[in-house]
Structure 1
């Protein structure tokens, strides 16, 4: 269990900063103790579990045996009224409200909006450039897509920087002294809150002023505000869930896109197959015709490439749960109040599930993957609510880049670091030139 109270937290953080949590922290302990072992992290006795059976047991027993358990700093910055902190029926209700914008009809309406956002971004940020930071560029883009295409809020200068200041404190010690990461993050969170409350109240006033009430603009904020008017959701819940959605959607998606391009650069044969898929889609379009949801379904190989990239480089390492009762598992008793940490790498890098797991092989996704084996978006009742939006962002961005630009990585072997989420250490700069169509 390591040192009193501190436990093995320092070793955990050290491995995390290098993006080597599995290789340097989890794997050596699996070798020594097996796929389930105990430690002490951030003051809590913690059981680390690995494998599809463990993922299924703990993720599917959410609200019954375990509940989501985030550090105090994360809860204060994301908001105690976000779905990450809600349990049972309240979680289902809030998730249902958010999910309405990401059903088939919602996604169909989102595709042209995302296409327009991507094209505008490329025109204003990429046109005339010889070099761009792919990761930084996609962060700016995915941030604006969440706000403008999903929520219906115009992005103002400085908003992304304010959100990033909040993210810096998400896993920092929750100590509020001037100049600390957490203190700066709390200050930024208050700025965001003020801005979102203003937008929500303005939308509520506008909707109440209409005879029919209505939410015909199709934006998620309008649906949430409609929930306020009907008494289904509070203003605090709307604001906290908008904050959470922005964080959940843009950093992880940017990383997934960056890793997809890294793998394409290293595997030209895969890139040739992917490019042909997009050329075929373009050949059935008139100039400037937008993509549709049906076109997304044709991008089967592209999605295999993205999925394989996220298998090798999952945007999340795993997540913590807390036992709400004594749990009997694999012959052990996990005491009530202990933490449980499940990991994506526990299956993604295991040759019991993926043959030759460290090799890049998109074709492995031609066959269905058993449940709880491939978990870059989690699983169970807390499966990422923005999963379909992330998929749209990735497919549409890849389409416009590969059909409009020739590109190459400036640092093919760029290292990945974490602070607190993984990212390419140099921002993944790429050389670009317009493709001659």
Structure 2
């Protein structure tokens, strides 16, 4: 027993010493900056800056102190931050053998390891072809009527006749979710669609959080939400595959959703181009990428309309859809 305790103490002493000397060995090869406290690093200060809308100042302070290239520890992982036109040129023209497009492992656990941002080479090309085929302008034109119907229903339900002050961003997030849910999953309004929303909210909250898998953390809730979501998407895939086999949804259908589109794309031998795991991970990635960014952009657009009467008048002149809701 005494020997075990002594061994444990020795390990606890030697590991930090090893890390210290290894860090010291390579420190001269790293850019300036600080990794901060172990594991947490600068994550808390970054999240605070995001929450208080001071993210630009947060970056600028570090650029002023360390220059256009500096190191930090974010979301549990050592990170090198590059800033400026030269850095952008380097990243976008860099050979794939030197710099590859990957996500932190914590994010990959939420999005899935088969999403397009994790793939490279032929796998990346194959999945990109499948996604681009759905996002072509001539294909998206088919969804205008569907999007218009979703917007009209949302405005009539949540905005029309509401004389009290409204919280715009939560409403716009709901609208964005409904539209994306319709286009990606092909799920109409109702209980089935509503089951997806709280899971996606938990996953979104977990992406920008410290990756600690304790029961009370956002990250743990995000991982749990994904585990609940995957069987739901798998069931949806099987339903749509059966529908395609029965020819109940033709290739030229005006409202063919992303999942059906992915299932429809075939290799030369007739097999499905994407596996079920790839479809699930990429649907989640597209949903997560569009949910927050689109809703925030639309919120700022409405703020602009509310604060600038000249722009408002130019846009709503003759538009009977928007006018009653933005007065």
State the 1:15 CA deviation.
2.4
Map of 2:53 onto structure 1: 19
Map of 1:272 onto structure 2: 313
Unpaired runs of at least 5, structure 2: 1-32
State the 1:5 CA deviation.
4.1
Residue from 215, 234, 237 that aligns with 2:278 = 237
Residue from 404, 413, 424 that aligns with 2:324 = 404
Are 1:51 and 2:84 an aligned pair? yes
Unpaired runs of at least 5, structure 1: 283-398, 408-437
- Cα-to-partner distance string for 1:288-316 (whole Å, 9 max, x where unaligned): xxxxxxxxxxxxxxxxxxxxxxxxxxxxx
Map of 1:326 onto structure 2: none
Kept in 1: contact 2:75–2:211 (CA 8 A): no
Residues 174 and 133 of structure 1, relative CA distance in 2, 3 Å threshold: same
Residues 113 and 257 of structure 1, relative CA distance in 2, 3 Å threshold: same
CA distance in 1 between partners of 2:151 and 2:95 (Å): 37
Q: TM-score, normalised by structure 1?
A: 0.59
CA distance in 2 between partners of 1:184 and 1:49 (Å): 31
CA distance in 1 between partners of 2:65 and 2:214 (Å): 41
Map of 1:224 onto structure 2: 262
Runs of 4+ deviating beyond 6 Å: none
State the 1:144 CA deviation.
1.1
- Cα-to-partner distance string for 1:93-152 (whole Å, 9 max, x where unaligned): 212211112212212101111111111111222233224322111111111111213431
Map of 2:20 onto structure 1: none
Are 1:184 and 2:221 an aligned pair? yes
State the 1:258 CA deviation.
0.6
Are 1:39 and 2:72 an aligned pair? yes
Q: How does 1:278-357 map to 2 (within 5 A)?
A: 279=318, 282=319
Map of 1:175 onto structure 2: 212
Structure with more of its chain in helix, by fraction: 2
Map of 2:174 onto structure 1: 140
When structure 1 is superposed on structure 2, of 171-180 and 252-261 the one drifting more is: 171-180
Report the 3-state secondary structure (helix = DSSP H, G, I; strand = E; otherwise coil) of the residue aligned with 1:39: strand
Report the 3-state secondary structure (helix = DSSP H, G, I; strand = E; otherwise coil) of the residue aligned with 1:247: helix
Which has the higher Rg, Structure 1 or Structure 2? 2
CA distance in 1 between partners of 2:225 and 2:95 (Å): 32
RMSD: 2.6
Q: Determine which structure has greater relative contact order: mean sequence separation of CA pairs < 8 Å that are 6+ residues apart, divided by chain length.
A: 1
Kept in 2: contact 1:264–1:271 (CA 8 A): yes
CA distance in 1 between partners of 2:157 and 2:78 (Å): 50
Map of 1:30 onto structure 2: 63
Residues 143 and 73 of structure 1, relative CA distance in 2, 3 Å threshold: same
Kept in 2: contact 1:215–1:222 (CA 8 A): no
State the 1:42 CA deviation.
4.2
State the 1:64 CA deviation.
4.3
State the 1:405 CA deviation.
2.6
User: Matched residue pairs, number?
Assistant: 284
Residues 148 and 4 of structure 1, relative CA distance in 2, 3 Å threshold: closer
Map of 2:16 onto structure 1: none
Map of 2:245 onto structure 1: 208
Report the 3-state secondary structure (helix = DSSP H, G, I; strand = E; otherwise coil) of the residue aligned with 2:187: coil
State the 1:49 CA deviation.
1.9
